[in-house]
Structures are given as structure tokens and as C-alpha cells.
Structure 1
Amino acid sequence: MSSATAGTPATSPPQAAAVETPFRRFVAEFAESRLALFGLGLFLLIAAAALLAPWIAPQDPYDLAQLDIMDGRLEPGSPSGDGRMTYWLGTDDQGRDMLSGILYGLRISLGVGAGSAILACLVGASLGMLAAYAGGRTDGLIMRLVDLQLSFPAILAALMILAFLGKGVLNVVIALVVVEWAYYARTVRGTALVERRREYIEAAQCLALPTRRIIFRHLLPNCLPPLIVVGTMQVARAIALEATLSFLGLGVPITEPSLGLLIANGYEYMLSGKYWISFYPGIALLVTIVAINLVGDQLRDVLNPRLKK
């Protein structure tokens, strides 16, 4: 007789496979690049240090009462050892702790870069979408403005605007928005022209859907991938432009420790051997821009299928 138990299953039922969502696919493809992960981690560390500057900085560079102009100026980066404050990166000609100045300067650089990029994206994307969807004279007028804007060097246009508006964080943001919006407009227009000819847009138009719904519910979401890539690159570009403008004396006021202003303050002391005043802020600026560019390069490869290897 056979003693086989027919009612006992031989194997357990397989577990349901996890559903692969577009977000999970994006994260997996982005994580393929170790350089991109390193850049993202470095940028998050820099952003956290900038946000927590009031709590982790050894000194408040805005508070004149904390500056030791008589005995604490132009000191190299080393522990004092005599009971006074430890200046790990040295001090500048005003007795300001360089580490504290860099942390507070990063707040201005990241704020100006992100703020100008967001505002320029809103202006440029709106005009680019309008040009692509309306076409005709509207498209021609907006594109001529884009060509006119891109024909001027960005630094020259920003200098002209700030020479008229004057110094100030808000004025720097306005100047950067003026010189950056054209990049977003051209990018969105090119993508929207391709998407506008697809069947789902034609179907929405045949259903007599409102123009606003077609643009914001159907057309704009498909223009986001290239817009994200351009926006990431423009943040790094805006940070570099703000530092350049501050270095030239037309950026933020002298009372605010911008990275470009810190570099400019130490320029005249380079020949006398006091390199740290310009060197350390320059390194912080370089590392921030490189970290953002590493993230942007991988975003470009992931969000643009034609660039995938």
C-alpha cells in the first residue's frame, strides 16, 4: 500500500513580488552611480551644516561684540591653547572666525542659489509652456526674448542689473532670475512641442477640456524630467554667479559673510602668506558646486533615456 499523503502540499506558495513603481526604479537607477551617491551625501551634509549654523558655529559673525579685532585678527588655523576661542581655520582681518563665516556664508549661497533657481523655473517654465502651446506670434515673441537674453553673458547682464539696483540679497536673486529664466523657457518649450503632438493631448483637445487643465494636468508633468535636470545645474551656476558678484563687490552687503565676499577679503593678504582667508571659503564653494554637479549628471542620465549607456 502507498502511504503518500496527497493532501500535504509539496512546497509553500511563492510570495507576491514587490510592485516596481517609477519612484523605486528611479532610486535604483540613481544608486547605480557611487559618485552620485557621494555627491548627494556631501550636499546633504553641507546643507545640514548651513541650516544648523547658528547652533554649531563657534562664533556669530554678525555679532560685532564677539569679534576680537585687536588680538584675534589674521590668526592662522590652530588651537589657541591660552583659554581663548579655538580658531580651527583661522581668522580674517576683522577677527571673524573663518569656520563660522563659511557656515553662515553657505546659508547665503544655498539660499540665493535655490531661491533664484525656483523663481527662474516658475517664470521660464510658464513662458516656455505658453510659447509651445500657443504657437504663432506668441511663440515667436517669447523665443526672440530668449535669444536676446542668451546672447548676453550671464555675468555681464547680472553686473548691469546690480549696478542699477544696488547691493542686497534680494537684488542678487532678482538679477539671477533675469539671467536664468531663458534656460528653463527653452528647455520646456522644446519638450512641450514634442508632447503637444502626441495622441493624449489631441484626445484632451477633442474632449474640449479647459486649456489650463491640459497644460497643468497633462502637458506639464511630462516636461518635468528635463526641467529637474536643468534646475539642478542652474542651482550650482547660481551659487557660482553669486560668489562672483560678491567677489566683485556688487553682491551681498559687506556686513553679511558670503563665500564670495570672504574670498575677496583675503585676496590682498595672499602675497603676505595669509592664504587661509581666501583658501578655505574657496574650497567650500568648490566642494558645494562639485557635489551639486555630481547629482545633476546622474539625474541627467537617469531621466533622459537617450543618454543611458
Structure 2
Amino acid sequence: MSAHASSASRSEQDEKLPITETPVRRMVREFMASPLAVSGLVVLSVLSLLAIFGPFIVPQNPYDLMQLDIMDSQLEPGAQSVAGMTYWLGTDDQGRDMLSGIIYGLRTSLGVGVISALVAALIGTSIGIYAAYAGGRTENLIMRVIDLQLSFPTILVALMILAFMGRGVMNVILALIIVEWSTYARTARGVALVERRKEYIEAAESLVIPRWRVLFKHLLPNCLPPLIVIATVQVGRSITLEATLSFLGLGVPITEPSLGLLISNGYQYMLSGKYWISLYPGIMLLVIIVAINLVGDQLRDVVNPRRQA
């Protein structure tokens, strides 16, 4: 057999060999296979960019009194102001541009939701993994605290905290962290208990590696997939909770608007036909929650170990 024929035969064999797909590539491919999840991710990306750069492009700062005119109060969508400015989504009872207000509210709602979810995830995951690794009385004590907190309705606990601390963006974020960390802790503990019994943890312990290194370098990375899914969905839940608290008057102050506060501002005008004051912020809130849930549901399917099997 000639050298040319031999090399051709080897190339044909190489083409028949299966290409090993990394777990990350597999998850990306499966995620991108869902048009709904991709659409949700695109919407979230656009809204995030709008929240970041929106204040630089909106026609009006709705909370700058120098830019407001009471004569523009409750104008219908598409109406023009005395100065000739077009209000595409109308104005509220204070003459504020609804489009500008929604973008400012989007900025606050997304910021509160993302920050509270990430901090709660960091705290809850650390506590849950430590409880699983420590075991014994430490684990029992931590789990009893978690069970006690989860036995109370989340909105009730948040209302009690804000009734004591008062309104404010930082107070809302702190309240959401307090009511959400236990969800991450319980999930992290359950996943860590499974990983705790595997050989790579026993090998790390046999090398007398410091506990913190075993926890955060070896145990934590293998517990992340389900926690990422929970964090994604929890952002939407945090935004909903913040909107509920603001609607009830215990959330963010009027000087730092959120979508929930904008809905609350227009609620009293619904019966008088001024629907746009609450409708458009409500639509924006609905779009955010639906987009987050679409992404979270697909992530849950992608990292599901039973599907991988």
C-alpha cells in the first residue's frame, strides 16, 4: 500500500471518530435550540442596555422639578405639551413623561432585583455548602433556622422588615436579601450533600487541604449549575416582590421610582379613564418577568442531570 493511500485511510478514520463536546458547549447548544429562551435572552439584553443607558437618551428627567409643567398633567398618549414636546406614552398626574418614567423605573427595578438576588445567592450558597460539609450539630442548627424562615410567607417577612426600617432602595434590597438567602442555602446544602460523598472530596481531604479551599475550590464549582438556575428565576421574583412592596407604599421612595411605584401612582386614575398611567408600567413589568422565566425554564432543562443521562 502506498503512503498516499495509507494517509487517505487514516484521514477517513479520523473523520469517523466522534467529536467530544464539552459540557459548556452542550449547554449553550441546547439553550440556543429553544427560540423562546433565545427571545427572552434578547429581550433581557435590550432592557438591560436600556436601563443602563436610558437616562442619557430619555427626553426628560421625570423627577427633575425644573423640567415639569403641571399644565401637562394626565395628557393622553401621543399628545403634545405646551412647549411642543410629544409624549408618546402620555403623562401622569404630575405632568411627567411616562416613557421617561418607565425607563427610570426599569433601572431601579432591575437594579434591586439583580443586586438582591446575587447577594442572597452568595450568602445562602456559602451557608448551605458549609452546613453540608460541617454536618452534625452545626448542620442541624442551620437547617432549623432555614426551616423557621421558610415557614413564614415571604411578603409578610419583607413587610415587617420595611415597616421597621422604613422606605428606601437600600432597605428594600436588604429586606429581599433577608427573605431570599434561605432558598439558596437549602438548595446548596442538598447539592453539596451529594457532592460531599464523592471521591474527589475525599482525595482533597486526604491531602490535608484547608477547609475553605475544599469548600470554595472543589465543592462550590460542582454545586453551581442548579444554583445559577435558581438565581435567574429569583431575579424575577425579587423584581415582583419589590413591585408589590412599592405598590403597597413600603418600597422605594417617590424620588427613586420603580415600576411598582409607577403602577401604584396611576391606580387611582384607572376608573376615570387614565389607563396609561398604570398600564404601560404594568406591561413593562410583565415583559421582564416573562423574559426571565423563559430563560430560567430553559436553563433548568439544560442543567437537569436526568436529561443529561
Report the TM-score range of the alignment, normalised by the length of the smaller protein: over 0.9
Matched, 1:65 2:77: no
Counterpart position of 2:201:
201
- CA deviation digits over 1:217-250, x for unaligned, max 9? 1100000001101101110000000000000000
**What is the rounded CA distance, in whole Å, between the counterparts of 1:288 and 1:43 in structure 2?**
7
Residues 144-183 of structure 1 aligned to structure 2 (within 5 Å): 144-183=144-183
Counterpart position of 1:268:
268
Shifted more, 280-289 versus 79-88: the winner is 79-88
Counterpart position of 1:3:
none
Counterpart position of 1:107:
107
Counterpart position of 2:45:
44
Q: CA deviation at 1:11?
A: 5.8
Q: CA deviation at 1:177?
A: 0.3
Counterpart position of 1:56:
57
**What is the rounded CA distance, in whole Å, between the counterparts of 1:180 and 1:81 in structure 2?**
44
Unmatched runs of 5 consecutive residues or more in structure 1? 1-5
**What is the rounded CA distance, in whole Å, between the counterparts of 2:45 and 2:290 in structure 1?**
13
Distance change (3 Å), C-alpha of 1:84 and 1:224: same
Matched, 1:117 2:117: yes
Matched, 1:291 2:266: no
Q: What TM-score does the superposition give when structure 1 sets the normalisation length? A: 0.93
Unmatched runs of 5 consecutive residues or more in structure 2? none
The secondary structure found in structure 2 opposite 1:271 is: helix
Structural RMSD (CA)? 2.0
Identity %: 65
Cα contact 1:61–1:257 (8 A) shared by 2 = no
Q: CA deviation at 1:126?
A: 1.1
Which structure dedicates a bigger proportion of its chain to helix?
A: 2
Count residues in correspondence: 303
Q: CA deviation at 1:18?
A: 6.9
Letter in 2 for 1:22: P
Distance change (3 Å), C-alpha of 1:286 and 1:199: same
Q: CA deviation at 1:61?
A: 1.4
Counterpart position of 2:35:
34
Q: CA deviation at 1:189?
A: 0.1
**What is the rounded CA distance, in whole Å, between the counterparts of 1:183 and 1:284 in structure 2?**
27
Counterpart position of 1:251:
251
Counterpart position of 1:239:
239
Matched, 1:22 2:23: yes
